[in-house]
Amino acid sequence: MKSIFKEVPQDEDLSPISPMSTMTALTPMSPFTLLYLRNLSNLSGFSPNPLGSLPQSGFSYLAEVETKKANEIKPSTTVCGCSKTKCLKLYCECFAEGKYCEDCNCKSCHNNEEHKDEREAVMIKTKVKNPGAFRVDISSNYKICHCNKSFCMKKYCECYQNGRSCNLNCKCKECKNLPKD
């Protein structure tokens, strides 16, 4: 059976088992990816799937468990000023921490006890899309961003917000939040 991929000539500096030689034949790579592949030996224990072999349906279960944990947390000490999102997006600092808004300057807030059912449904939906949302620990295996137009230089980028550069797990486009080497 013929392969649909062309053979890539081996460079002298690349071994046959190096990630660069195997991936270039199959995958187009951005400069961002090449930057990380150069430092691949530094990524011990790297896993493209942070949850191991958990099937996609497992995300819903994890979302429910994490939401229940987040609901047990006391009200937030941070103050948000949301006006259009009803405090039910990750842009809201209180909601992103998994806490209720209290003494905030927000308008039409639904991140409170009165709207508990709606809030919980939104949290589960958010967890299914982004398994790292609402986690207290900031490990690079869970916290990834999906930025499209912000170049990862705005406050709602989870990586930028936590003061770290984006990594291989991130799904951002045109990223400018690169490591300072």
Residue numbers of the domain that contains 71: 58-129
Pair 142, 122 in one domain: no
Q: Write the DSSP string, 116-163.
A: HHHHHHHHHHHHHH-TTTT-SS--TTT-----SSSTT-STTSHHHHTT
What pLDDT, on a 0 to 100 scale, did the predictor assign at position 4? 54
92 belongs to a structural domain: yes
144 belongs to a structural domain: yes
Spatial distance between the Cα atoms of 137 and 153, rounded to a whole number of angstroms: 21
Pair 144, 118 in one domain: no
- H/E stretch holding 19: helix 19-24
Q: For residues 22 and 161, which has the higher predicted lDDT (pLDDT)? A: 161
- Number of domains the chain is built from: 2
What pLDDT, on a 0 to 100 scale, did the predictor assign at position 52? 46
What pLDDT, on a 0 to 100 scale, did the predictor assign at position 34? 62
Q: pTM here?
A: 0.41
Pair 119, 151 in one domain: no
Pair 91, 143 in one domain: no
Pair 120, 143 in one domain: no
142 belongs to a structural domain: yes
What pLDDT, on a 0 to 100 scale, did the predictor assign at position 37? 63
Amino acid at 98: G
Pair 153, 119 in one domain: no
Pair 115, 63 in one domain: yes
25 belongs to a structural domain: no
